[in-house]
Structure 1
Amino acid sequence: MELSLLIIFWYGVLHAMGPDHLTAIADFSIGKNLRKTMMVTLLFALGHGITLFLFAKLLQSIPGIQAYTDYGDVISASVILLMGMYLLYMALSDRILLNKHTHDGQEHIHISFSRTHQHRWTDMMPALSLGVLMGIGGVRGMLVTLGLVSHQEVTFGMVALFALGVMLVFISFGGVILWLNRYWLNSLANVRRVFGALGLSSIAVGAQMLWF
């Protein structure tokens, strides 16, 4: 049983390392501070884990519902593709602004796309939504793995271990994005380079998900 749980956890790690997941996290966390970067990764992982558990239960109890999981792949791929186009547009236009200001006695550079500076928590909700949608598509692979290591009903503990592996990778990658935000995105030229590279990567990943 211990080996089965380890396999489930390891599959969660491998699943999270897919380019579609990492690209989605990068799209929504680039240019944000520590708190928002971590919140984006946690919300994405939370949405992913909850959806995986719920759809695993539905797939086991309702015949024919598996066909609908394809829509999650299509929608999430479309969002990644559109985000890539948006980031590329921002990199090539003059809409990116760098604002140096102080919060709680600490000066930092804030990346914005308008003259009005705002901190809105609602900006992070798309990360939760995309995590939910991508969880719908990813549930099939998780069920295959669970079927290989266990012939019993999918339990919350199994999905929790899978989600833990996913969250480990997401938070680690969020740390990489945070490093970029702090030490690389300190000039407009660097911001445009990173946004452009990320935009092209997102377009490539989204297109690959849609057409292959």
Structure 2
Amino acid sequence: MEAGLLLIFWYGILHAFGPDHLTAIADFSIGKNKQKTLLITALFALGHGLSLFIFAKILQHIELSEEILAYGDMISAMVIIGIGIYLLTMVLTNRIQLRKHKHGDKEHIHIWFGKSHEHHGIENSSSFSLGLLMGAGGVRGMLITLGAVQGSSVDLSMVGLFTLGVMLVFFAFGLLILYINQSFLGNLKNVRRAFATAGFISLIVGTNILLG
């Protein structure tokens, strides 16, 4: 069983490297500070793991055709495309804002969408919800892996190890985005370029999933 659990953990790592997942993490983490970046990646991974667990449980009792399961990939693709369109719209309508201020000797940069600057947790809830939605796209591969380990039985500890593998990669990628945030996003021009690039890549990744 230990080898099987290691296999699940390893599959979580491999699964997290999907371009749709990394694109989603980048879209939500650009311009965020360290605490928000790590929190967003953790919530995305938790939402993703929970979604896969729910779908896996359902599919244990209901047989679905490959055509129906393929709709999971379509959902992931449409979510990524939607994010890309949203980011590009924000860039083209000049609705991405940046403000700098200091607390003592330390300079802080705030980046937000829209005209008013509000502190809220919408990014957190959105990243968790996005993880839930995109879980539909990975359920087939996860079921194959879990089935190889323990027949068709799926329990929470197995999905927990899968989520841990996903979270490990997401944290590492989140740290890369954090480095980009701290090193290159000190002015509004670079911020808008970063979001435009993320939006464009999102469209490419989502379209490629649909066409694939």
TM-score (norm 2): 0.90
CA distance, structure 1, for counterparts of residue 118 and residue 141 of structure 2: 40
Cα RMSD between the aligned structures? 2.1
2:47 partner SS? helix
Instruction: Find out whether 1:109 has 2:109 as its counterpart.
Output: yes
- Number of the residue aligned with 1:206: 206
- Number of the residue aligned with 1:149: 149
User: How far 1:23 sits from its partner (Å)?
Assistant: 0.4
User: Structure 1's 120 and 145: CA in aligned 2 closer, same or farther, altered over 3 A?
Assistant: same
CA contact (8 A) 1:59 1:66 kept: no
2:114 partner SS? coil
Instruction: Could you tell me which runs of 5 or more consecutive residues in structure 1 were left unpaired when the two chains were aligned.
Output: none
CA distance, structure 1, for counterparts of residue 128 and residue 68 of structure 2: 20
- Number of the residue aligned with 1:44: 44
Question: Residue by residue, what CA displacement relative to the aligned partner does 1:181-210 show, whole Å, maximum 9, x if unpaired?
Answer: 122111222212212221111010011122
Instruction: Find out whether 1:183 has 2:179 as its counterpart.
Output: no
- Number of the residue aligned with 1:137: 137
User: How far 1:66 sits from its partner (Å)?
Assistant: 7.4
- Number of the residue aligned with 1:84: 84
User: How far 1:99 sits from its partner (Å)?
Assistant: 0.3
The 4+ residue runs of structure 1 with deviation greater than 6 A are none
Question: Residue by residue, what CA displacement relative to the aligned partner does 1:65-120 show, whole Å, maximum 9, x if unpaired?
Answer: 87654444323311211211222333344332220124587421111233421111
Instruction: Find out whether 1:121 has 2:124 as its counterpart.
Output: no
CA contact (8 A) 1:88 1:195 kept: yes
CA distance, structure 2, for counterparts of residue 25 and residue 171 of structure 1: 10
TM-score (norm 1): 0.90
- For residue 19 of structure 1, what is the amino acid of its counterpart? P
Work out the number of aligned pairs and report it. Answer: 212
CA distance, structure 1, for counterparts of residue 155 and residue 123 of structure 2: 33
- Number of the residue aligned with 1:28: 28
- Number of the residue aligned with 1:164: 164
